[in-house]
Amino acid sequence: MESDLSEKFRRLVEVGLALTSERDVSVLLGRILFEARRFTGAEAGTLYLVIPEGKLLFSVVQNDKLGHSEVLVGNGSQPITIGISPTSIAGLVAGTGSTLNIPDVHDLPESCGFHFDSSFDLKTGYCSRSMLVVPMKTPDGTIVGVIQLINARHPETGEVTTFSKENEELVLCLASQAAVALNNAKLTSELQLAYSEAIHRLARAAEFRDHDTGAHIERVSRYAAAIAEALELPSAEVSKILLASTLHDIGKLAIPDSILQKPEKLTSGEYAEMQCHAKLGADLLAGSENPTLRLAAEIAYCHHEKWDGTGYPRGLRGDEIPLSAQICAVADVFDALASARCYKTALSLEDACEFLRKEAGHHFSPRVVKAFFEVMDKITKIRGVPSV
């Protein structure tokens, strides 16, 4: 028995460390409930989050018997909430911070003041009996959620049994660790949103200088992400490319308006000065420790390089060109060709696509051009025009 308890505490430490390293809120929520059920042998469970409206939000539901597991936060489904009220089991725990360990939800004393909502059981045919409900409480006493575990299973017979006091204490410890991990993940998410907004605002600074490129910046970043997905890059890398590619022309901040907004063809001297925006953009973004800004510097510097080595500013050839810049080059040129500018009319979608096909192996990476056409449906949806 002592050995079993030591093993559970060892697992508790391991799980706590794993939870604190997870920054994806949806993944974290599912993991919290799964681990709480694993500690106690619970057949089913629900995790609720406390939301600002003073309600509990159904966030994760898991039920082994019904073969159901779903994270409801961030999946586009209609939010389901209940009030924080002493008349409901989860509401009482959220409102008071107390723990409820109920042997049988169908045999509650009338004096308890709360009741069991049997609507789910009636709808699905499931039979809830034992229940352990604990608050997710941060060190300062703030309750951020509730873990509700249903039907503890005996490890040997598989029969529904009560939740032991020992497991109650373990889940309380887990819930406290989970509350801290959840707050950290939310903070990371909020910082990421703020960071993303800052990058978009920086990109718009270049956009204000060159009025033709406003929507171009947004489209190029989305094309680049679609191509990266077709190349089967990891989702985290796709997300970085989506954000970093918005800064591909940030160096235009240092190019005079007389060149940026000139409706006539540029002179050779003006064109040479315009080409400087690649190096200027890289210099502007250089020196950051942030992976996304490092990637943005790479893209800004190299997105005008060509597969055959005739591009600028360094004349890189083939896979000397970073993959991120290979991707952005295709996205950037396609959108520039298919868009009207003050100095040119737009090519048809068919002609823009034909240019990419002809330049594969010359201007562009053949592999990236192939990936572009594999996601043509996404490309045309971004542009809002029919498929070729």
Catalytic positions? 252
Residue 356's CB is within 10 A of a number of other CB atoms, namely 18
Q: By C-alpha distance, which of 307, 302, 299 is closest to 359?
A: 307
Q: By C-alpha distance, which of 142, 109, 150, 108 is closest to 126?
A: 150
C-alpha 126/C-alpha 123 separation (Å) is: 8
C-alpha 110/C-alpha 285 separation (Å) is: 67
Cα–chain-centroid distance for residue 308? Answer: 36
Collapsed DSSP state (helix, strand, coil) of residue 63: strand
Helix (H) / strand (E) containing 191: helix 165-209
Could you identify the residue written with the tokens 């604990």? 134
Query: Which burial class, exposed, middle or buried, applies to 36 when counting CB atoms under 10 A from its CB (0-12, 13-18, 19+)?
Result: buried
Collapsed DSSP state (helix, strand, coil) of residue 339: coil
Q: Which amino acid is at 17?
A: L
C-alpha 96/C-alpha 94 separation (Å) is: 6
Residue 233 half-sphere exposure toward CB, CA atoms < 13 A: 19
Q: By C-alpha distance, which of 184, 172, 324, 134 is closest to 247?
A: 324
